[in-house]
A and B are shown apart, each in its own frame.
Chain A
Amino acid sequence: MRFWFVLTEIAAGFRRNMTMISAVILVTFVSLASVGSALLLQMQIDKLRGEWYGKVEVSIWLCPVQQLGGEVCVDGPVTQDQQDAIEARLKSEELSPYVADYTVETPDEVYADLQDSFSDADWTGGVTVDALPPVIHVKLVNPEDYQVVEEAVNGQPGVYLVRDQSELLSPLFDILAKGQVAALAVAGVLMVAAILLITTTIRLSAMSRQKETGIMRLVGASNLFIQLPFMLEGAVAALLGSVLSVAALWLVGKFWLVGWMSESFGTLLSRVNVSDVFVVAPWLMLLAVVLAALSSVLTLRRFTKV
């Protein structure tokens, strides 16, 4: 009985308040869609980070036979002792927590690699094995700890230079992170708008039913029972908005990310996919309910007077 009563009250509220309810649905839709985009972007960033940083390594170029001039490698090519010292350093207690693994590439291997990768380029013909240094490739446990290894190794006798491949990636991640901040900022502003709109809607709805609630109060209906229809009205509208936002993200995922991006980038990039939208979806709905609940509390405090 009570359940049906509350349901019919909500339906009546929707009919009476159609325009405001629509506004609530649309604003929550757009705000949650931007929250969702920000979350998906974060997932995308995490995926790329995981994939790319897993591949990157720190390369320690040792001094080659050929004289380079300048301040490095003034003592000539790296000696076996120097190389052993560097390797010992990598295995030392100081560095071993950061170093997952390392391999040493001899000049011959470096040369073969070079010929392989750039066989079409004519400049490779002028490169001799002598000009190439041995290279130590270090895989890190956490790619972001690159600094530690660099500081420990750079400037050691026999070290020509230390290069971190992840440096090349950071501008890209910077751009992605900025995009995420922008999406979150838009989402924040829109969410405030959503709260204000839901608040106004609940207040309007409550005012248009003042006579009813007055009678309910007089005949002894509990506060919760009086307020429930208004709260649920806001909650249902916000939930509808979140459903729309999930649908929109799904469409974007399906037709834009999977369709267009696949055509353009092939399998080069690992991307968020349609199923990731459904990972985000429950959070968006939860957020919608929180938005509505927050608005209800803000509004109905005034109506709790007995």
Chain B
Amino acid sequence: MIRFSNVTKVYTRGQRPALDHVTLEIERGEFAFLVGASGSGKSTMLALVLRQERASSGTVYVLGQDVSTLADRKVPFFRRQIGVVFQDFRLLENKTVFENVAFAMQVIGQPRHSILSVVPDVLSLVGLDGMGKRLPHELSGGEQQRVAIARAVVNRPQVLLADEPTGNLDPLTSEGIMAVLDRVNQTGTTVVMATHDVGLVNEMRRRVIELVDGAIVRDESGGRYGAGYVGGGRRP
């Protein structure tokens, strides 16, 4: 589903690489955590998967395609198979919950009748039944993130990328979000979540890929947040 083969990413020539010879494979239907301190390369990995960035060397395969050779004009169609969620939700303030989710379908040209039938289902999946008419500012942070997740999965992507989705939320709300992501995963969607929330990772007991300075230092299924990881600092 997602395969990194000896991938290096250098943003500025002469600087330390953001990713350093990373090789990795994530299978269909998996739920994987990317953990590590800020600047360890988690977001770079997600950007490479989304083809927002291109690898400096090595190849990145997503859904069977080498994304570095993907033509620019094909990128939009490629992205329709991938959903993304961010720490800051990125909802449109002047649109209702329903419209925010419907927006993702409108802009790729989905017909009206399918929008009307799909959006309520997805809102129900993320636990926002009956809140379609609310505006984002009327919602709590957790609810806003649920809207963002609904928008990310409404086009039934095969992969869901989540970049620190609980970064702005309290622990209890975060658990709720994790439950939603878990539910999305249960529908067969591969979920890759970058985080440094120790508690959540330990509780979920899923695959954990740990990055330090752009290199994978640990990759274990059913893992915990790194044993050597102490309070957000880097390993010595």
Q: Chain A: residues with CB nearer than 8 A to chain B?
A: 1-2, 5, 211-212, 214-223, 225-226, 304, 306
Contact B73 A221 (CB under 8 A): no
A221–B110 Cα distance when bound, in Å, is: 11
B103 within 8 A of A: yes
A220 touches which one: B52, B80, B111 (CB < 8 A)?
B80
User: Which residues on the B side are within 8 Å of A216 (C-beta)?
Assistant: 107
User: How many residues from B make CB contacts under 8 Å with A?
Assistant: 30
Q: Chain B: residues with CB nearer than 8 A to chain A?
A: 50-52, 72-73, 75-84, 90, 92, 103-104, 106-112, 115, 151-152, 155
Q: How many A-B residue pairs have CB under 8 A?
A: 62
- Main secondary structure on A side of the interface with B: helix
A306 touches which one: B72, B83, B103, B155 (CB < 8 A)?
B72
B103 touches which one: A215, A217, A220, A223 (CB < 8 A)?
A215
Contact B112 A1 (CB under 8 A): yes
A165–B76 Cα distance when bound, in Å, is: 70
Q: If A2-B106, A215-B90, A215-B92 touch, does A221 touch B111 (CB 8 Å cutoff)? A: no
Q: List 30 A-B contacts (CB under 8 A).
A: A1-B111, A1-B112, A2-B106, A2-B109, A5-B107, A211-B92, A214-B90, A215-B90, A215-B103, A216-B107, A218-B84, A219-B80, A219-B103, A219-B104, A219-B107, A219-B108, A219-B155, A220-B77, A220-B78, A220-B79, A220-B81, A221-B107, A222-B108, A223-B76, A225-B107, A226-B107, A306-B51, A306-B52, A306-B72, A306-B75
Write the nearest CB–CB distance from B216 to chain A, whole angstroms: 26
Contact A212 B92 (CB under 8 A): yes
- Interchain residue pairs A-B with the least CB separation, the first 3: A220-B80, A220-B79, A221-B107
Contact B108 A221 (CB under 8 A): yes
User: Which residues on the A side are within 8 Å of B81 (C-beta)?
Assistant: 220
A202–B76 Cα distance when bound, in Å, is: 22
A221–B82 Cα distance when bound, in Å, is: 12
A250–B21 Cα distance when bound, in Å, is: 70
